Amino acid sequence: MQVEQWQNTIVTFFITYGFQMVGAVIILVVGAIIARWLGKLTDKWLTKQHLELPIRLLLVRVVRLLVFGLTLLLALDKFGVQITPLIAGLSVAGVGIGLAAQGVLGNILAGLTIIFTKPFRVGEYIELVGVYGQVETIALFSTTLLHIDGSRVIIPNRKIVGEIMHNYGGTRQLSLSVGIAYGADVNLALATIHQILDTNPRVLKEPEAVVGISALADSSITISVSPWVNVPDFCTAQLEIYQAIVEQFRARGIDIPFPQRDVRIIGQTSA
């Protein structure tokens, strides 16, 4: 008797909801196909925007989840589930979650702004909010800068958007200086420095390096040396150029003086 009741219940269920179940399955299948198609289309578009792979995959998944979520709501509607109260409840929950996670949402929105407006790219050297470094990664929540000493600075994205930023790009200009004696051959010193820069593989040919007399100091003539190098070569190039200047100046007899003072005693009181 109980078995017959179960059988009747099952038969009644399929008679009542059979077409709804078939319709729901069809909606879910079509929704999955559309979600996958839109995901591929989004991935192709984001690839043309030269986004990093992790960000691209995350955005593609978000698009697929949104499409499939909408499809799931339509499938539930086929079973008579009231969608309006469900959406209202989700909206209220979303508002509560949004208020509780303002910082997280702010970082996400700022991250999307950075990704699509591209004020800087991975590999460029930037300076902002009192920190500086080479951009290592750009994520939805934060941006990571790499210092010359290997340390990393992680900046929340909401701290970046709206701030004044100095973007050096992929190259930086060195600001070096060397002093020579007033009796030294200035033209020989300038020619020597140009030769050093021309032979150093880290120094870029374009833009052209700026070399010239920048000051007439008390004990020396100051020559400024400002070549351009790629960001990863900034520290190493500076060390190499200074070492080459010292060696070549010594070899060619160009004196690099040290600060000195001549003291003359005009009068002296006897003890």
The pLDDT of residue 94 is above 90: no
253-269 confidence digits (pLDDT tens)? 999 887 766 677 776 55
> 185-220, pLDDT tens digit by residue?
999 999 999 999 999 999 999 989 999 999 998 889
Strand partners, 32: none
Q: Cα separations (Å) of 119 from 4, 18, 104? A: 71, 55, 21
Q: For residue 155, what are the β-bridge partners?
A: 143
Dig out the tokens for 34 from the structure.
Answer: 């559309």
Whether residue 12 has pLDDT greater than 80: no
Peptide bond into 207 cis (omega under 30): yes
How many helices (DSSP H) and strands (DSSP E) are in the chain? 6, 10
Q: Is 176 helix (H, G, I), strand (E, B) or coil?
A: strand
Beta bridge partners of 210: 226
User: Given a cut of 90, is residue 161 above it in pLDDT?
Assistant: no
pLDDT above 80: residue 91: no
Name all domains of the chain by residue range, CATH numbers in brackets. Answer: 2-100 (1.10.287.1260), 119-169 (2.30.30.60), 171-251 (3.30.70.100)
- Give the strand order in the sheet containing 176-180: 176-180, 221-226, 210-216
**pTM of the model as a whole:** 0.60
pLDDT of 99 reads 46
* pLDDT band at residue 88 using 50, 70 and 90 as cut-offs: low
- Rounded Cα distance between 161 and 25, Å, is 44
- pLDDT, position 86: 57
Predicted confidence (pLDDT) at residue 100 exceeds the cutoff of 50: no
| Phi/psi at 206 (5° precision) | -130, 130
Give the pLDDT score at 101: 45
Residue 226 has pLDDT above 80, yes or no: yes
pLDDT band with cut points at 50, 70 and 90 for residue 47: confident
Is residue 101 within 8 Å of residue 153, measured between CB atoms?
Answer: no
Res 219: pLDDT: 85
Q: Is 232 helix (H, G, I), strand (E, B) or coil?
A: helix
Q: What percent of the chain has pLDDT over 70?
A: 75
